[in-house]
């Protein structure tokens, strides 16, 4: 369980997070939803201990995230960023193997684990010898996911993992991620601005704006019992945008349906 | 301050490593090191002395000739890097001891005694400073004495830097005669001869025994107010050497003192300058020894080129190697601690603004002369591009990639070697490439402090006014720079990770 309590974080004068609290239950997928500047990525970075709160606390399975506990907690977390965040000078295999190498795993054990993860992530084994720039966006994202999973951490933190992908690949990967999370029973925190992704993957959703929590709940809660007009606004804006971008449909033509 | 103390440590380590290599201090047993300044007469006198020492057989000879100007050569003698070199009484009194009352070798010898140095008696000729003009111009303008120049302020003068700055040179001369020449430039002596011959310069400083005067039809202007002091040639030596090898010192004095008049010296200079004969040949002629036939200067250079190439390669490789070993860690420290890093890089950049020749000169009191001090100076010079590019390469790395290394729990050393340095590899390699190619050029200056390499030919060619010899040094240096460039293009393919290319 991840417990965020009354966390405030400022960058200069502007608060990125203002007294935010939320709870992520173990074994569930929790989506942090919001537009850019809402503070959702900042929240993820606080959980990872990449930055420290100005007030409030973050606890992971009861342990407070602090400089002294950070390394031990990181052993239990995997981190995936947009476009994979792969090292361009290392092959896909070497990227995935990094954390295992750092733990001094035997090469044979690493090779076996990477093979296992390639099956899990649906990546062709031949791709493992390639460098990141020789892979497609979707493949890079799969490699990034494999790298986060190599030590089999119970917690997975994903920051806009599918943000750089085209819509078709994106939809396909969303389905696969949903299946994967269910199968692995990980505690997942996923940051996105895409309500469709939130609806498809999130068992719980926290909608943020301007560094404050607008509403906690399921997608259904947000759609049917919005806590404020902003929630409805946020949900419909993206739907309109999505429909508006369809070829041949004038903007707003089908909002009534 | 951690970064600072680390870089200070690095500097101290550099000094320690290279101090060992410099070999400053007293000569090893059985060796007399003969030095010279970098002009023809000094080369010849040094070679004559060297051949005499070889004849006596009390000690072996090491030639460390063509060291450069007066200050450099004198400091080399003081530090024990050389044991002996030809000098002039006027220079000793006015420039080195700064006491115009020291008129005779005897008075100078008394004064030098506490410092552990001594001089021979006069070798017999006076090589004084003089001003020269083209004979035809002298006739046209009615120039006979230095004082006559006062009537022609429009004349263009080019002086060697020593003459231009020394109290017994231009500043004093100008005051004594009330001269107001409009255009006075500083120029390397050997080049001024060409300039005056082609009419681009009207007045230059020369030495009265100069072998070129006759060929170029130059006229010496009369010093009718007796400004220039007496520049008698002498041998200046460390007393330690004269006491350890008394027979050698006695023989040197016996053969040389009073035996060389101005005309004879001018002829010897002309043999080297005008006839293109080797200095060793000229010295042998003076000593009345058989001269091996059929060996001109060209052949001598060819024979030398192999060992000079090795010398030059060693200078470049060791200097760049040391600069890599120190520069990359300095770049890393600078990237880790930005503020002290800026300070560190500024200090290295300041070193870079010191003219290479001056930096080489600073090495002499610290490390003596030869390869060691040349390597210290070249390493310092090569440091900036490497440290700077390492720093630039490291700070340009995407912050997310660094954060991920933390999340993956890579230990600091693994993170540096596996992630950061490879990601900065293109920039670091570019720095090393710049350092290597520029060091090939800068290393030609090492010859001025006896460091050897292609510069030895350039220095000698300048002294002998021999374009072919200069080119024999300059062309291979240019070729080596190109070769290094090509080599590093290849190395890039190996050292820069494939995913980055």
Q: Looking at residue B394, what is its pLDDT?
A: 95
Q: Looking at residue A249, what is its pLDDT?
A: 44
Answer whether A89 touches B (CB < 8 Å): yes
Tell me the nearest-neighbour CA distance from B413 into chain A, angstroms.
11
Answer whether B409 touches A (CB < 8 Å): yes
* CB atoms A71 and B407 under 8 Å: no
Of B71, B120, B66, B128, nearest to B98 (Cα)?
Answer: B71
Q: Looking at residue A257, what is its pLDDT?
A: 34
CB B113 within 8 A of CB B239: yes
The residue of chain A with its CA nearest to that of B501 is A89
- b/e per residue A64-75 (b: at least 16 CB within 10 A): ebeeeebeebbe
Q: Looking at residue B382, what is its pLDDT?
A: 93
Cα B287 versus chain centre, distance? 29
- Name the β-bridge partners of B61: B32
Which residue among B401, B414, B497 sits closest to A85, beta carbon to beta carbon? B401
CB A132 within 8 A of CB A87: yes
Name the B residues in 468-497 with CB < 8 Å from any A CB: 497
Mean pLDDT of chain B: 85
Give dist(CA A35, CA A163) in Å, integer: 12
Give pLDDT tens digits for A174-196. 888 888 888 888 999 999 998 88
Residue B24 pLDDT greater than 60, yes or no: no
DSSP string, B27-57: PPTTEEEEE--SSHHHHHHHHHHHHHHHHH-
Q: Between B11 and B34, where is the model more confident?
A: B34
* Candidates B399, B408, B411, B418, partner chain A, best to mutate (most A CBs within 10 A): B408
Residue B18 pLDDT greater than 60, yes or no: no
**Residue ranges, chain A, pLDDT below 50:** 248-257
Lowest-confidence pick of B193-197, B299-303, B446-450: B299-303
Give dist(CA B271, CA B282) in Å, integer: 7
pLDDT band at B17 (very low <50, low <70, confident <90, very high): very low
Burial class for A102, CB neighbours closer than 10 Å (0-12, 13-18, 19+): middle
Which residue among A71, A87, A89 sits closest to B409, beta carbon to beta carbon? A71
Q: Looking at residue B10, what is its pLDDT?
A: 43
Q: Looking at residue B21, what is its pLDDT?
A: 40
Give pLDDT tens digits for B371-424. 888 899 999 989 999 999 999 999 999 999 999 999 999 999 999 999 999 999
CB B382 within 8 A of CB B388: no
Q: Looking at residue B450, what is its pLDDT?
A: 73
Of B295, B306, B334, nearest to B453 (Cα)?
Answer: B306
Q: Looking at residue B22, what is its pLDDT?
A: 40
Answer whether A147 touches B (CB < 8 Å): yes
pLDDT band at B88 (very low <50, low <70, confident <90, very high): very high
Report the percentage of chain B scoring pLDDT > 90. 38
Which residues of chain B have a CB within 8 Å of the CB of A164? none
Residue B7 pLDDT greater than 60, yes or no: no
* CB atoms B500 and A50 under 8 Å: no
* CB atoms A102 and B414 under 8 Å: yes
Answer whether A132 touches B (CB < 8 Å): yes
Which residues of chain B have a CB within 8 Å of the CB of A98? 408, 410, 418
Helix (H) or strand (E) holding B139: helix B135-141
Answer whether A52 touches B (CB < 8 Å): no
pLDDT band at B6 (very low <50, low <70, confident <90, very high): very low
Instruction: Pull the structure tokens for residue A55.
Output: 């007030």
Which residue among A74, A91, A133 sits closest to B409, beta carbon to beta carbon? A74
**DSSP conformational letter for B123:** -
Instruction: Pull the structure tokens for residue B480.
Output: 């080596």
Among all chains, which residue has been given the structure tokens 């020369």?
Answer: B206
Lowest-confidence pick of A235-244, B79-88, B358-367, B459-468: A235-244
Which residues of chain B have a CB within 8 Å of the CB of A60? none
Of B392, B365, B389, nearest to B377 (Cα)?
Answer: B365
Residue B442 pLDDT greater than 60, yes or no: yes
Answer whether A110 touches B (CB < 8 Å): no
Q: Looking at residue A239, what is its pLDDT?
A: 66
DSSP string, B149-202: GGG-TT-EEEE-HHHHHSTTTHHHHHHHHT---SEEEE--HHHHHHHHHTTS-S
Return the number of CB contacts < 8 Å for A and B.
54
Give pLDDT tens digits for B159-169. 987 788 877 78
CA angle B18, B84, B443 (to 5 degrees): 40
Terminus-to-terminus CA distance in chain A, angstroms? 40
CA angle B383, B387, B391 (to 5 degrees): 170
Instruction: Report, as an integer, the average pLDDT of B187-216.
Output: 83
Give dist(CA A187, CA A1) in Å, integer: 8
CA atoms within 13 A on the CB side of B106: 0
DSSP string, B327-371: HHHHHHHHHHSHHHHHHHHHHHHHHHHS-HHHHHHHHHHHH-SSH
Which residue among B403, B409, B419 sits closest to A87, beta carbon to beta carbon? B419
Among all chains, which residue has been given the structure tokens 């050897």?
Answer: B452
Give dist(CA B15, CA B476) in Å, integer: 30
Tell me the nearest-neighbour CA distance from A131 into chain B, angstroms.
5
Give dist(CA B491, CA B481) in Å, integer: 15
pLDDT band at B440 (very low <50, low <70, confident <90, very high): very high
* CB atoms A102 and B408 under 8 Å: yes
Q: What 3-state DSSP class applies to B325?
A: helix
Answer whether A123 touches B (CB < 8 Å): no
Which residues of chain A have a CB within 8 Å of the CB of B419? 87
* CB atoms B408 and A85 under 8 Å: no
pLDDT band at B462 (very low <50, low <70, confident <90, very high): confident
Q: How many other β-carbons are positioned within 10 Å of the β-carbon of residue B179?
A: 20
Which residues of chain B have a CB within 8 Å of the CB of A85? 400-401, 404
Q: What are the C-alpha distances in Å from B16 to residues A4, B9, B77, B362, B374?
A: 56, 10, 22, 16, 14
Which residue among B401, B422, B498 sits closest to A131, beta carbon to beta carbon? B498
Residue B71 pLDDT greater than 70, yes or no: yes
Q: Looking at residue B194, what is its pLDDT?
A: 79
Q: Looking at residue A247, what is its pLDDT?
A: 52
Tell me the nearest-neighbour CA distance from A87 into chain B, angstroms.
7
Instruction: Report, as an integer, the average pLDDT of B334-363.
Output: 85
Q: Quote ipTM for the complex.
A: 0.88
Among all chains, which residue has been given the structure tokens 């997608």?
Answer: A219
Q: Looking at residue A28, what is its pLDDT?
A: 93
Give pLDDT tens digits for B168-182. 788 889 888 988 888
Give pLDDT tens digits for A97-124. 999 999 999 999 999 999 999 998 889 8
Q: How many other β-carbons are positioned within 10 Å of the β-carbon of residue A193?
A: 17
pLDDT band at B15 (very low <50, low <70, confident <90, very high): very low
* Candidates A60, A84, A89, A160, partner chain B, best to mutate (most B CBs within 10 A): A89
Q: Looking at residue B469, what is its pLDDT?
A: 84
Residue B3 pLDDT greater than 60, yes or no: no
Residue B436 pLDDT greater than 60, yes or no: yes
CA atoms within 13 A on the CB side of A247: 0
Burial class for A53, CB neighbours closer than 10 Å (0-12, 13-18, 19+): buried
Q: What 3-state DSSP class applies to B24?
A: coil
Q: How many other β-carbons are positioned within 10 Å of the β-carbon of residue B123?
A: 25
* CB atoms A74 and B410 under 8 Å: no
Give dist(CA B291, CA B282) in Å, integer: 9
Q: Looking at residue A250, what is its pLDDT?
A: 47
Q: What are the C-alpha distances in Å from A118 to residues A42, A53, A164, A180?
A: 30, 36, 21, 13
Cα B441 versus chain centre, distance? 14
Q: Which residues contact B158 (CB under 8 A, 6 or more apart)?
A: B184, B185, B186, B187, B192, B195, B196, B201, B203, B204
Residue B156 pLDDT greater than 50, yes or no: yes
3-state SS of chain A?
CEEEEEEEEEECCEEEEEEEEEEECCCCEEEEECCCCCCHHHHHHHHHCCCCCCEEEEEECCEECCCCCHHHHHCCEEEECHHHHCCCCCCHHHHHHHHHHHCCCCHHHHHHHHHHHHHHHCCCHHHHHCCHHHCCHHHHHHHHHHHHHCCCCCEEEEECCCCCCCHHHHHHHHHHHHHHHHHHCCEEEEEECCHHHHHHHCCEEEEEECCEEEEEECHHHHHHCCCCHHHHHHHHHHHHHHHHCCCCCCCCCCCCC
* CB atoms A102 and B409 under 8 Å: yes
Which residue among A75, A89, A98 sits closest to B410, beta carbon to beta carbon? A98
Of B9, B17, B69, B24, nearest to B379 (Cα)?
Answer: B17
CB B457 within 8 A of CB B470: yes
Instruction: Pull the structure tokens for residue B105.
Output: 């070798």
């Amino acid at each position: 369980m991840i417990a965020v309590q009354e966390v405030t974080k400022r960058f200069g004068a502007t608060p990125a997070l203002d007294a935010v609290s939320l709870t992520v239950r173990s074994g569930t997928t929790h989506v942090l939803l919001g537009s850019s500047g809402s503070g959702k990525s900042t929240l993820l970075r606080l959980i990872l201990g990449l930055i420290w709160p100005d007030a409030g606390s973050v606890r992971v399975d009861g342990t407070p995230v602090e400089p002294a506990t950070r390394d031990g907690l990181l052993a239990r977390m995997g981190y995936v960023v947009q476009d994979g965040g792969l090292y361009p000078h290392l092959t896909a295999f070497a990227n995935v193997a990094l954390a295992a190498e750092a733990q001094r795993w035997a090469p044979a054990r690493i090779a076996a684990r990477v093979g296992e993860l390639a099956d899990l992530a649906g990546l062709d084994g031949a791709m493992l010898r390639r460098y990141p720039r020789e892979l497609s966006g979707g493949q890079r994202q799969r490699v990034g996911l494999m790298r986060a999973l190599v030590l089999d951490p119970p917690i997975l933190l994903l920051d806009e993992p599918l943000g750089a992908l085209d819509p078709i690949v994106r939809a396909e990967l969303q389905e696969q991620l949903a299946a994967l999370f269910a199968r692995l029973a990980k505690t997942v925190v996923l940051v996105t601005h895409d309500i469709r992704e939130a609806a498809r993957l999130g068992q719980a959703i926290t909608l943020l704006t301007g560094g404050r929590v607008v509403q906690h709940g399921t997608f259904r809660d947000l759609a049917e019992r919005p806590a404020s007009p902003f929630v409805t606004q946020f949900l419909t804006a993206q739907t309109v945008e999505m429909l508006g971008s369809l070829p041949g449909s004038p903007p707003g033509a089908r909002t009534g349906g | 301050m951690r970064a600072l103390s680390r870089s200070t440590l690095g500097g101290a380590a550099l000094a320690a490593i290279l101090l060992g290599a410099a070999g400053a201090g007293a000569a090893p047993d059985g060796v007399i090191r003969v030095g010279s300044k970098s002009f023809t007469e000094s080369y010849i006198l040094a070679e004559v002395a060297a051949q005499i020492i070889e004849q006596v057989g009390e000690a072996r000879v090491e030639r460390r000739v063509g060291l450069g100007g007066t200050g450099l050569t004198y400091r080399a003698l003081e530090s024990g890097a050389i044991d002996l070199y030809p000098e002039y009484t006027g220079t000793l009194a006015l420039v080195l001891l700064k006491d115009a009352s020291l008129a005779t070798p005897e008075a100078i010898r008394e004064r030098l005694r506490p410092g552990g140095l001594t001089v021979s008696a006069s070798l017999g000729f006076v090589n004084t400073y003089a001003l020269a003009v083209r004979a035809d111009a002298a006739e046209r303008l009615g120039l006979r004495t230095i004082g006559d120049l006062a009537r022609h302020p429009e004349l263009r003068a080019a002086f060697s830097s020593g003459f231009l700055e020394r109290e017994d040179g231009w500043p004093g001369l100008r005051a004594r005669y009330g001269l107001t020449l409009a255009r006075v430039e500083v120029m390397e002596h050997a080049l001024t001869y060409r300039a005056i011959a082609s009419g681009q310069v009207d007045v230059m400083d020369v030495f009265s025994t100069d072998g070129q005067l006759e060929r170029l039809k130059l006229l010496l202007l009369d010093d009718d107010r007796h400004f220039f002091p007496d520049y008698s040639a002498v041998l200046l030596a460390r007393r330690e050497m004269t006491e350890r090898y008394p027979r050698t010192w006695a023989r040197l004095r016996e053969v040389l003192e009073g035996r060389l008049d101005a005309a004879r010296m001018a002829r010897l200079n002309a043999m080297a300058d005008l006839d293109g004969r080797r200095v060793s040949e000229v010295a042998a002629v003076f000593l009345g020894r058989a001269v091996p036939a059929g060996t001109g200067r060209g052949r001598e250079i060819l024979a030398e080129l192999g060992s000079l190439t090795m010398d030059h390669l060693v200078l470049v490789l060791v200097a760049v190697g040391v600069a890599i070993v120190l520069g990359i860690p300095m770049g890393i420290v600078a990237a880790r601690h930005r503020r002290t890093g800026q300070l560190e890089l500024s200090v290295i950049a300041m070193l870079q603004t010191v003219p290479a020749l001056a930096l080489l000169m600073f090495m002499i009191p610290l490390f003596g002369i030869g390869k060691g001090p040349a390597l210290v100076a070249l390493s310092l010079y090569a440091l900036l591009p490497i440290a700077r590019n390492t720093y630039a390469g490291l700070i340009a790395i995407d912050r997310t990639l660094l954060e991920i290394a933390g999340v993956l729990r890579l230990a600091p050393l693994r993170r540096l070697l596996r992630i950061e340095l490879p990601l900065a590899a293109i920039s670091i390699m570019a720095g090393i490439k710049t350092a290597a190619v520029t060091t090939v050029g800068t290393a030609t200056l090492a010859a001025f402090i006896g460091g050897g390499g292609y510069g030895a030919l350039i220095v000698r060619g300048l002294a002998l006014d021999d374009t072919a010899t200069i080119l024999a040094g300059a062309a291979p240096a240019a070729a080596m720079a190109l070769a290094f460039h090509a080599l590093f293009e290849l190395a890039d393919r190996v050292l820069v990770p494939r995913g980055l290319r």
